[in-house]
Amino acid sequence: MASPADSCHFGVTLPQIKRSWDEVREAATTFDACGFDSVWACDHIYGVPMPNLPIFEAWSQLAAVAAITEHVGLGTLVTPPFFRNPAVLAKQVATIDHVSSGRTIMGLGAGWFAPEFEQTGCSFPSLPERMRALEETAIILKGLWTEERFSYEGRHFRVKDAVSEPKPIRRPPILIGGTGEKVLMGIVARHADIWNNMAIAQAQLRQKAEALRRRCDEEKRDWDTLRISQQCVVVIAETEDEARTSLARAQKIYGGHLGAGLEEHGIWGTPERVIDCIEQHRKHGCSGFVIEFFGRDTREPARLFADKVLPAFRS
């Protein structure tokens, strides 16, 4: 995300489910103007948890956002194998990297919502095989982005003497999201620039970070070259009473997915309390946040965060 070891990167999720393009455009330009570091789209075909929820396709949305913003990074949280051939994905991302003058972030994960694969004809093998396909995807993307011609023979994907031009302006950072301490974190240690802890595991951030450090040691990966990011809901308000009212609503709406442990371990409250919550995450090595602001119009809490919280983390 950002390069200095002690810097803090703040990304924001874009409106995507049951929203209009006008809402996406207004949010994206607001986040860009407010000084956030990146914007993110979830890479789902179906609007989780209900297939009939309208949702914009992630990389198409990011291509449009790339053309109307100037500063923010553009990433997915996260792109799974089997939605797209990795060689085609490499071209998509490289194209958006040129549209954005080098702002793409390649978010990868194993995928988990079976209906959106099975009902659309995409492969959805066992978790071990999805993990294998995730690693193959990372290998192929990096090869096509950096080598004149690239060949690779995997179990799920293969390319032979493949050309991918134009290259991205710079090799997009690879973010890998997930919580598996054995297989997934081994893939992170071998291939990722950023590891993203899922919101449902926010309470286990310290444990997960320690497990990842062990995997990096095993893989001879320099720990200081890897960044830790946290997916999170942020509930922010001017007063404590307003914050607690919004927190109760957020817990009810998000339930056991994004709302689990939000009061005890999440980021919520007045701007001062939110700063303290972020500092607690930073103590565990977290230097990046992918934020879903709570509210129908997420521009409002984003503006408050930008005005009262961001300055505490900018030199």
213/192 Cα distance (integer angstroms): 13
Query: pLDDT tens digits, residue range 145-167?
Result: 999 999 999 999 999 999 999 99
Q: Superfamily for 9-233+287-295?
A: Luciferase-like domain (3.20.20.30)
State the pLDDT confidence band at 315, using cuts at 50, 70 and 90. confident
**In whole numbers, what is the pLDDT of the chain averaged over residues?**
95
pLDDT of residue 255: 72
**Does the pLDDT value for residue 185 go beyond 80?**
yes
Distances (CA, A) of 125 to 59, 87, 122, 155, 191: 23, 20, 10, 12, 22
Residue 79, burial from CB neighbour count under 10 angstroms (0-12, 13-18, 19+)? buried
Take residue 90 and report the two structure tokens written for it: 């490499």
Residue 81, preceding peptide bond in cis (omega within 30° of 0) = no
State the pLDDT confidence band at 184, using cuts at 50, 70 and 90. very high
Query: pLDDT tens digits, residue range 269-304?
Result: 999 999 999 999 999 999 999 999 999 899 999 999
* Separation of first and last alpha carbons in the chain: 16
pLDDT of residue 30: 98
State the pLDDT confidence band at 16, using cuts at 50, 70 and 90. very high
Residues 111 and 82: beta-carbon distance below 8 Å: yes
Q: What is the pTM assigned to this prediction?
A: 0.95
The residues facing 152 across adjacent strands are 159
217 phi and psi angles, rounded to 5 deg: -60, -45
Q: Tokens 């549209």 — which residue?
A: 99
pLDDT of residue 258: 62
Query: Can you say how many angstroms the Cα of residue 262 is from the centroid of all Cα atoms in its chain?
Result: 19
Q: Tokens 């960044």 — which residue?
A: 227
285 phi and psi angles, rounded to 5 deg: 95, 5
Identify the CA nearest to 82 among candidates 37, 49, 122, 139.
122
pLDDT of residue 253: 87
**Does the pLDDT value for residue 56 go beyond 70?**
yes
Distances (CA, A) of 169 to 26, 75, 228, 285: 27, 15, 24, 29
Buried/exposed 285-299: b ≥16 CB within 10 Å, e otherwise: bbbbbbbbbbbeebb
Query: pLDDT tens digits, residue range 216-275?
Result: 999 999 999 999 999 999 999 999 999 999 999 998 888 766 656 789 889 999 999 999
Take residue 35 and report the two structure tokens written for it: 């000084």
Residues 156 and 133: beta-carbon distance below 8 Å: yes
Residue ranges covered by each domain of the chain = 9-233+287-295
